[in-house]
Amino acid sequence: MMLAPYPISTFRPTPVRCANDRQALFSRIAPVYDNLNDLLSLGQHRIWKRMSVSWSRAKLGDRVLDVCCGSGDLAFLLSNKVGSDGKVIGLDFSKEQLMVASSRSSTKNCLKNIEWVEGDALDLPFADDWFDAITMGYGLRNVVNKQKAMQEILRVLKPGSTVSILDFNKSNEPLASSITELMIDNIVVPVASVYGLSEEYRYLKSSIREFLTGQELEKLALEVGFSTAQHYEIGGGLMGCLVAKN
Ligand SMILES: C[S@@+](CC[C@H](N)C(=O)[O-])C[C@H]1O[C@@H](n2cnc3c(N)ncnc32)[C@H](O)[C@@H]1O
């Protein structure tokens, strides 16, 4: 399927049939999501996102996709990488997150090469072999079917191209996991409660518990058909990035 020539930096509202609790959760946190990211990571998330985008190997002139783009951080970084001859699609199923992304692109002095698309990571509205590179930041942990999401990414990624998937690192080490959980209980949730979002951020702990370790992520990528998969621990082991090649 070809992408229709929609106006740049607007988002295309199409109904998403998989509306569920997670979609509602991300819509609720949309207005404060960026502030909280900066506050809770002390700005470090910007570095992790840069690393992840650079692992995607996106380059000038490429057509690239940021799945679960939220308010658009990775899409904006990709926009600079691919330049004005390239094209970035930021896809998310939360209209509210896309509205924040769209308004940020009008205030940021960014290239006019981003299109915001409302859609489901489990049913990507793109043709096979369509993208030169794909990123996904803090999205895989949140989709209800990780295997399906990986299959969809593989389907729309050109042969030889790379996906870079940034998320929390679920450590094999009990001590590291306990430290992460302590930080969530004692820093993240209390800070989020100032914004009335303690329940929303409490969800982080269970989502990391239920997530996959680096080794399991590599295994999943190879099982769905990627030719190579490597998981890197970053941010002192707090975060991880899965880099897989079609
Ligand atoms: C934690 S946010 C990450 C946003 C952004 N990538 C970042 O790194 O700041 C996760 C995003 O995934 C989106 N999401 C979760 N499941 C999705 C799905 N099945 N399809 C599309 N978006 C989804 C949510 O709406 C939310 O915006």
Q: Looking at the domain assignment, is residue 24 inside a domain?
A: yes
- 200 part of a folded domain: no
CA–CA distance, 210 with 201 (Å, rounded to integer): 15
Does residue 9 fall inside a structural domain? no
Outline where the chain has alpha helix (H).
Answer: 21-29, 33-41, 44-55, 73-82, 95-107, 146-156, 174-183, 189-194, 198-209, 214-224
| Residue 147 in this model has a pLDDT that exceeds 80 | yes
Percent of the chain at pLDDT exceeding 90: 63
What pLDDT sits at residue 16? 34
**Mean pLDDT to the nearest integer, 172-195:** 87
Per-residue pLDDT, 149: 98
Average pLDDT for 205-210: 90
Given ligand 1 and candidates 11, 21, 51, 68, which is best to mutate, with the most ligand atoms within 8 Å of its CB?
68
Question: Which residues constitute the domain of residue 80?
Answer: 19-34+42-168+212-245
Q: Is residue 69 part of a domain?
A: yes
Report whether pLDDT(14) > 50: no
Q: For the segment 30-77, what is each residue's pLDDT rounded down to a tens digit?
A: 888 888 888 888 889 999 999 999 999 999 999 999 999 999 999 999
Nearest residue (by CA) to ligand 1, atom 8, is 137
pLDDT at 3 over 70: no
- In a domain, residue 207? The reply is no
pLDDT at position 5, please? 35
Share of the chain above pLDDT 70, in %: 92
Which phi and psi (to 5°) does residue 215 adopt? -65, -40
Widest CA span in the chain: 51
Give residue 17's pLDDT. Answer: 39
CATH number, domain at 236? 3.40.50.150
**186, part of any domain:** no
- In angstroms, what is the span from residue 151 Cα to ligand 1's centroid? 17
Residue 12: pLDDT band with limits 50, 70, 90: very low
pLDDT (0 to 100) of residue 65:
98
pLDDT of residue 84: 92
pLDDT at 134: 98
List pocket residues of ligand 1, CB cut-off 6 Å: 22, 26, 68-70, 73-74, 92-94, 97, 120-122, 137-139, 142-143
Residues 14, 208: Cα–Cα separation, whole Å: 30
Ligand 1 center to 238 CA (angstroms): 19
Query: Ligand 1 pocket: which of 142, 165, 203 to mutate (most atoms <8 Å of CB)?
Result: 142
Name which residue sits closest to atom 16 of ligand 1, judged by CA. 143
**Average pLDDT of the segment spanning 184-197:** 87
188-200: average pLDDT: 85
The alpha carbon of 136 and the centre of ligand 1 are apart by a number of angstroms equal to 8
Pairing of strands 87-92, 63-67: parallel
> Mean pLDDT, the chain, as a whole number?
89
Residue 67, pLDDT score? 98
Is 5 within the bounds of a domain?
no
Q: Is residue 58 part of a domain?
A: yes
pLDDT of 78: 97
Distance 53 CA to ligand 1 centre (A): 16
**61: CA distance to ligand 1 center in Å?**
25
Pick the atom of ligand 1 nearest to 97's CA.
Answer: 27
Nearest CA to ligand 1 atom 25: 94
- In the predicted structure, residue 151 carries a pLDDT above the cut 80: yes
Residue 34 makes CB contacts below 8 A (sequence gap 6+) with 71, 73, 100
Query: What integer is the mean pLDDT of 11-37?
Result: 69
Q: What's the domain count of the chain?
A: 1
The whole-angstrom separation of Cα 157 and Cα 75 is 16
245, pLDDT greater than 90? yes
Distance 5 CA to ligand 1 centre (A): 24
Residue 203: per-residue pLDDT = 85
